[in-house]
Structure 1
């Protein structure tokens, strides 16, 4: 029997072999990622053409939300609503009759690393070129005992306007949907005795030349959830460190209806719709 001569492999050859295997893994991963992204986009155009794409475009036309040569800051929070809004804007831009530009901004108020990583992962999967803008909002409101959520929301809105303007945008787009608008009106009536409408378009009084638009205005939340679940996607729900602290340290479930006026209102609407 003839002995097969042994072959010495140098360190450089080992590294070259490992690099080749790593490149193959990266190519395979990239191909799998692209395949899944294509499937999600195809399903959005076909299966959700009426409930999501159609209603998005209807709101844009009805409320005149997008004009020629607009530069729109699509504001990403990491939740299902803003991520879907980003995809719908990409779809709109793909076949729109006039030119406009999109900038996908994610204002980081102090996310935990795991939460930021989830946003980055979903953006990569969905093909959304997100640009992060960091702030210390969570730290700033952490010592506020009364209405920290209200202050946080106000600060976030201000930072979004500022970052959008710095990026040359004339509009910011938020992911509020039909259910948000109805809940806001009902909350104002129940808790403050006022009629407070969430408008599809609003001109800023503090940032000259800036407008806020809500192109998801005609989309129902149940259809957003259906799209999310149908594609096996997982998004941020509440990334607030204050909320997580309450849950961990005080055993307080912030997803219970009693924990939030909005959740109480959401539950009331659901109960009324069943009667």
Structure 2
């Protein structure tokens, strides 16, 4: 007679079986394709309490369980000033998913919301700094964030439309302020729709954006540029179902020979640099 599975075991089974194609395979594909984890790594898996970071934590836990090479994980929750309801929800979800979290407090919300200029930018920078510091304190050499496929697409479009630059979100990068530390994005190839489907299938409830500044903007009728881009992509997808895939593939195949300018290591370069010494470039379709 087979024993009845616990709820956590059923949730794990949904990742490995029910949503294997949508979650587990793209997750392990990103790990391999972008070489995100190496033997001996000690990774701080950063949990904000939302659906993405909670799923990432479970994926990383399962990967460590089944991996054919050793690496360590620490599940890190930074409390930037959550209200009591959100704090309890994070703790209860971690217990439900059997994720042993380490929680530490900061005053990020208080500091960021007291400034009138770019509170979101300040909050993001402070969050990243606190996470790197705590991860290093715990002996980690990497932090893992829960950005997914749609975050990558939206960031690319946001940069073009509102930042006047072609800028993507890389699957990993070295920290400029914390020597020897690296940031990785293990959910790089997972679609947000799949995360939502998994959450609904398991009847899970995670916190939404807990930022007080964002809540006040929503209450006053304001909206974010990222939300505008989400809506735009949703409309475009009705005519071209593969548009997100095309954008994703395009950041893997940038043709620098056709770019008027590009920036690397903070330095801007022009196509005019050594223009007369460069070999001819084949004309693209549409040129006259």
Tell me which interval the TM-score lies in, with the shorter structure as reference length.
0.7 to 0.9
Q: How many residues align?
A: 237
Give the aligned CA root-mean-square deviation in angstroms: 1.5
User: How far apart are the structure 2 equivalents of 1:65 and 1:268?
Assistant: 31
Alignment of 1:106-145 (within 5 A): 106-145=77-116
Q: TM-score, normalised by structure 2?
A: 0.80
Does 2:142 align with 1:171? yes
Alignment of 1:25-104 (within 5 A): 35-104=6-75
User: How far apart are the structure 2 equivalents of 1:195 and 1:109?
Assistant: 31
Give deviations 1:96-120, integer Å, cap 9, x for gaps: 1110000000111011011000000
Q: CA deviation at 1:235?
A: 0.6
Q: Which runs of at least 4 in structure 1 moved beyond 6 Å after TM superposition?
A: none
User: How far apart are the structure 2 equivalents of 1:44 and 1:141?
Assistant: 36
Partner residue, 1:156: 127
Partner residue, 1:14: none
Q: CA deviation at 1:35?
A: 1.5
Does 2:259 align with 1:259? no
Give deviations 1:52-77, integer Å, cap 9, x for gaps: 01110000001000000100000000
User: How far apart are the structure 1 equivalents of 2:140 and 2:45?
Assistant: 10
* Structure 2 contact 132–143 (Cα < 8 Å) conserved: yes
Q: CA deviation at 1:205?
A: 1.2
Partner residue, 2:200: 229
Aligned to 1:145, the other structure's residue is in SS state coil
User: How far apart are the structure 1 equivalents of 2:205 and 2:159?
Assistant: 31
5+ residue gaps, structure 2, are: 240-288
Higher fraction of helix: 1
* Structure 2 contact 217–223 (Cα < 8 Å) conserved: no
User: How far apart are the structure 1 equivalents of 2:84 and 2:14?
Assistant: 31
* Structure 2 contact 27–186 (Cα < 8 Å) conserved: yes
5+ residue gaps, structure 1, are: 1-31
